[in-house]
């Protein structure tokens, strides 16, 4: 059996097992015991996407600024700063979405 065929057979088996899991879950997330309707709240998605758009614009400006400051800083400092900006923005988006979900932000 070729490698490509093996991957497609394995992927099909994984999809079947995933479909079986989703059928048994009955609108409950097993790990968190949360109602899946709350996870699909359109207002949460809209507000998270708007906040995420602003975060990505700010992250892009910061990355560009560190890129332009690259000749004056060490490579390690630029890499660390870009990593902190990107990870910080992603964590902020997750935190905002979670706080919307649990109702801490109205």
Q: How many helices (H) and strands (E) does the chain have?
A: 4, 2
Burial class (CB in 10 A: 0-12, 13-18, 19+), 106: exposed
Neighbour count for residue 72 (Cβ, 10 Å): 8
Most distant pair of Cα atoms in the chain: their distance = 57
Strand partners, 29: 34
Structure tokens given for 100: 């919307």
Show the tokens assigned to 43: 């207002």
| φ, ψ (nearest 5 deg) of residue 24 | -80, -15
Tell me what pLDDT residue 23 has. Answer: 52
22 three-state secondary structure: helix
Its pTM stands at 0.59
pLDDT in tens, 57-88: 999 999 999 989 989 999 899 999 999 999 99
Three-state DSSP at 19 gives: helix
Predicted confidence (pLDDT) per residue in 19-53, tens digit: 555 555 555 555 455 555 556 778 888 999 999 99
């Amino acid at each position: 059996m070729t490698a490509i065929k093996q991957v497609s057979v394995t992927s099909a088996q994984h999809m079947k097992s995933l479909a079986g899991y989703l059928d048994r879950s009955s609108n409950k997330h097993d790990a968190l015991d949360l109602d899946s309707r709350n996870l699909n709240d359109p207002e949460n998605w809209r507000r998270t996407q708007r906040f995420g758009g602003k975060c990505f614009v700010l992250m892009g400006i910061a990355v560009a600024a560190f890129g332009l400051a690259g000749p004056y800083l060490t490579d390690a400092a630029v890499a660390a700063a870009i990593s902190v900006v990107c990870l910080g923005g992603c964590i902020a988006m997750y935190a905002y979405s979670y706080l919307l979900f649990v109702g801490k932000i109205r």
